[in-house]
Amino acid sequence: MKQFIYIITISLGLFILNGCQSYYNLFYTDPAKCFKIAEQRKPYDVIIVPGFPHDSGNVNMVVSQRVKWAYYLYKNGYTKNIIFSGAAVHSPYIEANMMRLFALQLGVKNENIFTETKAEHTTENLYYSCVLASQLGFKTIGFATEPAQASFMKPFKRKFNLQVDFIPVVADSLWKLPLQLKPINPIAEQAEFIPNFIPLEKRESIFENLRGSRGHRVKKDIRRARKLKRQHS
């Protein structure tokens, strides 16, 4: 009896461990592993960097990290171009335009920066930027953001068969950068400002916001594009 319980306990433990490993492989985006892949495949034609809300011209930690990581990949030959993505979502400042201004501070050339200004959710950041990249003739694409956000987008990438590599932030490389972003005046720098702005949380219910985060708007746009394609074929 004791031997039977021992075997059952060991089997259950192995099952749980295998399940955890499967969950890890399915959902977690490992920065070190992704960076090794990027090393082999560089240079990418373009990387996509999702936006983050701005309530002023000051620098917040998330924006700083994403812009600096984009600069690192650009400066070190991992990408030729950058797409910053994000509409005015929670503040009247268009996120992509603000990130572009910070990237210019660091020395990214204007001709290598593109902006996607329609996305209001991370799923849309990725999908609409992939569409823009295709329109611009870019073939190889990376998605550069924090590991947690990249992991969140892993099932979405798989579901919609997006041909993009994830290149999440490698903290050790990022912290070594002696870079300092300076506050900017969005009005003086002509970053687009939306008058009479209504934030997303007042335009969408919690349920609608959740659906957007899961790619509902993207699904509608894909169906619409397929319908138009059939009509013109």
Q: What is the pLDDT of residues 164-194, one digit of tens each?
A: 999 999 887 767 777 888 887 766 666 677 8
**Does the structure show a pLDDT above 90 at 21?**
no
DSSP for 7-18?
HHHHHHHHHHHH
Q: Is the bond preceding residue 43 a cis peptide, omega within 30 degrees?
A: yes
pLDDT at site 199 = 84
Strands laid side by side in the 113-116 sheet: 113-116, 82-85, 46-50, 141-143, 165-166
In a domain, 231, yes or no: no
**pLDDT at residue 141 greater than cutoff 60:** yes
Average pLDDT over residues 109-123: 95
pLDDT in tens, 1-15: 444 444 344 334 433
Establish if 50 belongs to a structural domain. Answer: yes
Contact of 187 with 101, CB cutoff 8 Å = no
The answer to whether residue 8 sits within a structural domain is no
Whether residue 20 lies inside any domain: the answer is no
For the segment 203-219, the average pLDDT, to the nearest whole number, is 81
Domain that holds residue 102: 28-199
Q: For residue 35, which amino acid is it?
A: F
The residue written with tokens 């089997």 in the block is 11
* pLDDT at residue 6 in the model: 40
Pairwise pLDDT comparison (63 vs 229), residue with the higher score: 63
Q: Tell whether 180 is covered by a domain.
A: yes
Average pLDDT score over the chain? 83
Give the chain's end-to-end CA distance (angstroms, integer). 70
Two structure tokens written together for 116: 């996607």
Lowest mean pLDDT among 65-74, 89-98, 150-159, 167-176: 167-176
Higher model confidence: residue 31 or residue 180? Answer: 31
Q: Is residue 205 part of a domain?
A: no
Q: Is the pLDDT of residue 156 over 60?
A: yes
In a domain, 11, yes or no: no
Contacts of 14 (CB under 8 A, 6+ apart): none
| Predicted pLDDT of residue 191 | 65
Residue 202, both tokens:
């007042």
Q: What is the pLDDT of residue 5?
A: 45
What pLDDT is attached to residue 108? 97
- CATH number for 101: 3.40.50.620
Estimate the crossing angle of helix 122-135 against helix 206-213, to 10 degrees: 40
With cut-offs at 50, 70 and 90, classify the pLDDT of residue 207.
Answer: confident
Based on the structure, what is the number of domains in the chain?
Answer: 1
Residue that the structure tokens 């870019």 belong to: 138
Residue 229 lies in a domain: no
